[in-house]
A and B are shown apart, each in its own frame.
Chain A
Amino acid sequence: MSVDTIQSRRDWLLSERPASRMQARLGRAYVAWRRFSANRLAFLGLLIIIALLVVAALAGVLAPYSPTFGDLKNARLLAPSAEHWFGTDDLGRDILSRILYGSRWTLYVVILVAIIAAPIGLLVGTVAGYAGGWTDAILMRITDIFLAFPKLILALAFVAALGPGIENAVLAIAITSWPPYARIARAETLTVRNSDYIKAVQLMGASPFRIVLRHIMPLCISSLIIRVTLDMAGIILTAAGLGFLGLGAQPPLPEWGTMIASGRRFVLDQWWVAGAPGFAILIVSLGFNLLGDGLRDALDPRSGDQ
């Protein structure tokens, strides 16, 4: 592609008078992307997350050994070497392979929690904020009840009630992580509900349902996306914490938190057994945090020029 066509494409995207719905939308996305990619650290975060996605998709190809079967006779607790880059654990399993496969479970937890918790929080918050009165009071008191418990303790209680396992851990984390989203969405809704542009839509004869869904929710979504990405590191850590306590993923599932828990016994002599998954959690959490910070700068509704 020549320089000229790139230049004309950019002009098309940044046009002050777009000729179609599509062009207007793409132009907006392009402006946000430019602002995002100008931030080096955010870009690094995005690269980490993309790497995580690739690793999760290709774990079967990349992993040199099986994640669940080890060589109990010859390969127990080997130090990192050319054959086993991150060493082996007490059952003779290759830790690198387990971490690669474990990325799938990490993604599984993070994505499911986000898909369950964010829409619940968004719905509760916008409805409470827009309706006001009794609806607001009831919905927000329920939110307060959930917020009153420490997150991990509440998740522990739920898992204890539902039974250990990764699905129940996901459910427990989702149940405990929606209240902050509801708070954000409500705060955002309160700032716009009395604005003239919402009054104008009321004057069109729009139903409250339509106003919340089509006019208020789109305004709340960007701050919510930012908050969810920032929370993802916390979700990974909570999942790891539950795994560590034996209430999350069950052996032999290669979940990172569970791996740390089983490596705890030899953390002084064979540090790599717990250290390697710990490092993986660190990197991925860092990636999500950097991405969230970058998104905050790129999507912030209060930065006017978009």
Chain B
Amino acid sequence: MTSAISVDGLEVIFDRFRALKGVRLDVQPGESFGLVGESGSGKSTLLRAIAGLAPVASGSIAVNGKTLGARRDKAFYREVQMVFQDPYGSLHPRQTVDRLLQEPLAIHGFADGEKRIQRALDEVGLGNGFRFRYSHQLSGGQRQRVAIARALILEPSILLLDEPTSALDASVQAEVLNLLEEVRRRRKLTFLMVSHDLAIITHMCERLMVMQSGEAVENLAANDLVERRVSKDYTRNLLRASDGFVRTA
């Protein structure tokens, strides 16, 4: 079976800084794959490199068996979409929800826009009352729902999620995560999800990769993490850190 995403020897260099140092990654279709690591470990950069938003120096990226060039074509964007971390920054401040959702349809020349917008809003649990609002008239959770609707409206098979809930408070986080789970099940999507929250990754993902300063540390199944079957010190430290502050009397 061809992998949904397959990355090999990927190097990303910003000016002189090597953000990714020869990373290998393999995600199966329909799988939910997590990327964890501390800030600056390169997990978001890996996601952006796949989306074509980071300067790739060398290495190869293939999506559904097709190797990608430096420029992505329109067909790529119909396969792969992304949800950004900050819902306050990812929606255009001067456009209504309607306009935001229409844009991808206009670019790809869909004719039945009206129906698709309606369906996309229903799918993320936003009724018609939200359609003509500006983003400043929405709460953080609602904004992230709109961002998810925008990503789904082109019916991609792969969704890149860059810490989709870290800017939201706990109760809204759960709602958005449940929504993502539900969408994935219904549409049989492949997820590649970045998070620094190990609980979210073990909840959402089947497999994961631990990253540190631009390199892959180890590949694990989610269960390994739950049962602490990890082999590298870095992962152990990460686990300890995620347990939170422990008082030593």
Contact A21 B132 (CB under 8 A): yes
Are the CB atoms of A218 and B94 closer together than 8 Å? yes
Point out the residues of chain B lying under 8 angstroms from A195, CB to CB. Answer: 89
Chain A contacts for B51, CB-based, 8 A = 203
On whether A204 and B136 interact (CB within 8 A), knowing A196-B89, A219-B94, the answer reads no
Name B3-61 residues within 8 Å CB distance of A.
51-53
A219 proximity list for chain B (CB < 8 A) = 93-94
Q: What is the CA–CA distance of A255 and B89 in the complex, to the nearest angstrom?
A: 50
Contact pick for A17, options B74, B77, B86, B133, CB 8 Å:
B133
Closest 4 CB pairs of A and B: A205-B77, A196-B90, A24-B132, A17-B129
Q: A21-B96, A197-B90, A206-B107 are in contact. List 13 more A-B contacts (CB 8 A).
A: A16-B133, A19-B128, A21-B98, A196-B85, A196-B90, A199-B84, A200-B82, A200-B84, A200-B147, A203-B52, A204-B107, A205-B104, A205-B107
CB atoms of A202 and B53 under 8 A apart:
yes
| Cβ B107 vs Cβ A17 within 8 A | no
**Contact partners of B81 in chain A: CB under 8 A:** 203
Q: Is B218 in the interface zone, CB < 8 Å from A? A: no
B134 CB within 8 Å of chain A: yes
Binding site for A on B (CB under 8 A): 51-53, 72-74, 76-78, 81-82, 84-86, 89-94, 96, 98, 103-104, 107-108, 128-130, 132-134, 136-137, 147, 150, 154
A34 in the interface (beta carbon within 8 A): no
**Is A264 positioned at the interface, with any CB of B under 8 Å from its CB?**
no
By beta carbon, the residue of chain A nearest B82 is A203
Q: Which residues of A contact B128 (CB under 8 A)?
A: 19
Q: Are A201 and B96 in contact (CB under 8 A)?
A: no
How far is B78's CA from A259's CA once the two chains are assembled, in angstroms?
65
A28 and B147 CA atoms in complex are apart in Å by: 22
Q: How far is the CB of B87 from chain A (nearest CB, A)?
A: 9
How long is the Cα–Cα vector from A19 to B97 in the complex, in angstroms?
A: 12
Report B-chain residues with C-beta under 8 Å of the C-beta of A301.
93-94
- Measured between beta carbons, the chain B residues less than 8 angstroms from A306 are 136
A222 to chain B, nearest CB (A): 9
Chain A residues 13-63 with CB under 8 Å of chain B are: 16-21, 23-24, 28
Those of A171-201 within 8 Å (CB) of chain B: 195-197, 199-201
Contact present for A23 and B82 (CB under 8 Å): no
Chain A residues closer than 8 Å to B137, beta-carbon distance: 16
A305 smallest CB distance to B (angstroms): 7
List, sorted by A's number, 13 A–B pairs whose CB atoms are closer than 8 Å.
A16-B133, A23-B132, A196-B84, A196-B89, A200-B82, A201-B92, A204-B104, A204-B107, A204-B154, A214-B103, A218-B94, A304-B136, A306-B136
Q: How far is the CA of A206 from the CA of B52 in the complex (A)?
A: 13
Contact yes or no, B133 A24, CB < 8 A: yes
Is A151 positioned at the interface, with any CB of B under 8 Å from its CB? no
Q: Does A197 contact B77, Cβ atoms closer than 8 Å?
A: no
Q: Compute how far the CA of A278 lies from the CA of B155 in the bound complex, rounded to whole angstroms.
A: 65
A158 to B53, CA, bound (A): 45
Residue of B78, B96, B150 near A24 (CB, 8 A) is B96
Which chain A residue has the least Cβ–Cβ distance from B162? Answer: A196
Q: Are B133 and A206 in contact (CB under 8 A)?
A: no
**A17 contacts B130, C-beta separation under 8 Å:** yes
A205 contacts which chain B residues (CB < 8 A)?
A: 72-74, 76-78, 104, 107-108
A84 at the interface (CB under 8 A from B): no
| A200 and B91 alpha carbons, distance in the complex (Å) | 8
Q: Determine the chain A residues whose CB is within 8 A of the CB of B154 once the complex forms.
A: 204
CB of B134 within 8 A of CB of A200, answer no
* Chain B residues positioned under 8 Å from A23 (CB to CB): 132
Closest to B96 in A: A24
